[in-house]
Structure 1
Amino acid sequence: MTARRPRSLRARLAERRARAGDGRPLAPFRWWQVLSRSQLSLRIPDATGRTIEYTVDVHQLGDRDDGDVRARLYRDGALAAVSRLPARFSVPGGHIEVAVGGYGLRRCHFVSDAGDERQLVPHPRSAEGRRAAFDRDHRGASRLIGILSTAIVVAGACLAVPQLIDTVSHIPPIAESIGTFTWPLHLPPAVNLAVTLIVVAASIERASRFRASWLDDLAS
């Protein structure tokens, strides 16, 4: 028998956020939810050896009642648990970790009791599922797009950081103590908007591959 690894304080807090579900059925995935909903599944055996399908469902725009983004865990299509993010759901043989960023999921992995990890399989109609299919069918083009989107996000961060420093340095208490910094490059509003939209598109592409990070939030 494999020994269970000790849980960190963060893991224990994440588990406490989870609440039991009411058993309602998993709603079908609609085509218009491609950018606003993430759905990933995993099949694992229970203690009796029967295969169970666990599905994680996240509405990126938040719930209708309060706007909070939550992860819902379905067991064979019935709601088993609900949690604010980041979430950690206990399942046979380990747990499922779910984390979200500004542009989509950053993590949705099954972690075994031994510490082995594997990403859940995205719904084929979701942005993550469509991106994964494109990667399988067009490896070269997929790699090129991935490199391009990362380069765009890095360039966006390089533009955003100096502007942020410029703004912060002109706050009176900071300006009086350390002086001011003036960023010489000032883009016209239309150009600035276009750059922002391009960076956002690149960040969405990265999120569909679970590659988005704090850098994407900073760049936009």
Structure 2
Amino acid sequence: MFKKYRRRWQLSKAKPGDGSRLQRFRFWHLLSRSLFALELPDGSGRPQVFEVDVHHLRDSSSAKRPAALYRDGVQVLQANLPVTFPVPGGVIEVAVGQYGVKRMHHVTDDGRERVLRPDPRSLEGRRARFEQRFPRTSAVIGAVGLVVLLVGLAGTLSGVAEQITRIEAVAQHVGTFTSPIRLPLWATIALAVAGALAATDRALRLKSTWMAD
């Protein structure tokens, strides 16, 4: 039920586009823009190219909305994020997190899902190409990144638990807890940087998790 209302709300956020042409992806857009594409047939079976353009430096207060849907290079819809764009035979669900795009999926009317194809010049496209060329190295990077996120999560939860049990009312009922994790400043900074890089890598592969955000 919640999923149904959420989709309805996100569909209502899609507003008519301005009919402008899709801007070509340039190298200086690497840190500020993501672009994904999907081919779908129209009613007559003719292939149409749908593209979702996301500008990370825009938000709901910007003059232009941060996400737009293009059909054959022409803007047909625009919206604030997160949003669900209607397309023939289904929808495209779009959402971003702290480290980038976390959902860019085509969901058909019967529930099947697939990730849209990233523009090869974008960071997501470059990361996908790296994974295709060096699958083993990519897998190792992904595994190390997940371990880094888990270690960071463990440290965060341990510190939170220690702070909570220092509250007198809590300590009287459950006792106090002392975190076994004590890192020097340099190690704390290094772990934070490594965690940010790991979260960014997962976002580039559209595998963001609640740990990353």
CA distance in 2, matches of 1:147, 1:90: 35
User: 1:52-201, aligned counterparts within 5 Å?
Assistant: 52-63=48-59, 65-66=61-62, 70-170=66-166, 180-201=176-197
One-letter amino acid of the structure 1 residue matched with residue 101 of structure 2: L
How many residue pairs were aligned?
211
Whether the 8 Å CA contact 1:60–1:69 is kept in 2: the answer is no
Q: Which of the numbers 4, 11, 14 marks the counterpart of 2:10?
A: 14
One-letter amino acid of the structure 2 residue matched with residue 132 of structure 1: A
Identical pairs, percent: 40
Whether the 8 Å CA contact 2:158–2:181 is kept in 1: the answer is no
CA distance in 2, matches of 1:34, 1:135: 18
Greater Cα offset, 173-182 or 156-165: 173-182
Over 3 Å counting, the alpha-carbon distance change for 1:184 and 1:84 in structure 2 is: same
- 1:204 paired with 2:196, answer no
Partner of 1:34: 30
Q: Secondary structure at the match of 1:58?
A: strand
Greater Cα offset, 141-150 or 25-34: 25-34
Greater Cα offset, 181-190 or 149-158: 181-190
Question: What whole-Å deviation, never above 9, does each CA across 1:31-70 have from its counterpart, x for those lacking one?
Answer: 1332332110011111132221111111223349549983
CA distance in 2, matches of 1:183, 1:31: 45
CA distance in 1, matches of 2:105, 2:6: 16
Question: What whole-Å deviation, never above 9, does each CA across 1:91-149 have from its counterpart, x for those lacking one?
Answer: 11111111222211121111112222211100111121111101111111111111111
Whether the 8 Å CA contact 1:68–1:84 is kept in 2: the answer is no
Over 3 Å counting, the alpha-carbon distance change for 1:164 and 1:33 in structure 2 is: farther
CA distance in 1, matches of 2:184, 2:110: 54
Taking structure 1 as the reference length, what is the TM-score of the superposition? 0.85
The CA RMSD over aligned residues, in Å, is 2.4
CA distance in 1, matches of 2:81, 2:177: 37
CA distance in 2, matches of 1:165, 1:67: 43
Greater Cα offset, 144-153 or 180-189: 180-189
Q: Secondary structure at the match of 2:31?
A: coil
Q: Secondary structure at the match of 2:18?
A: coil
One-letter amino acid of the structure 2 residue matched with residue 196 of structure 1: A
Q: How many angstroms does 1:190 deviate by? A: 2.8
Q: Secondary structure at the match of 2:211?
A: helix
Structure 2 residues without counterparts, runs of 5 or longer: none
Q: Secondary structure at the match of 1:214?
A: coil
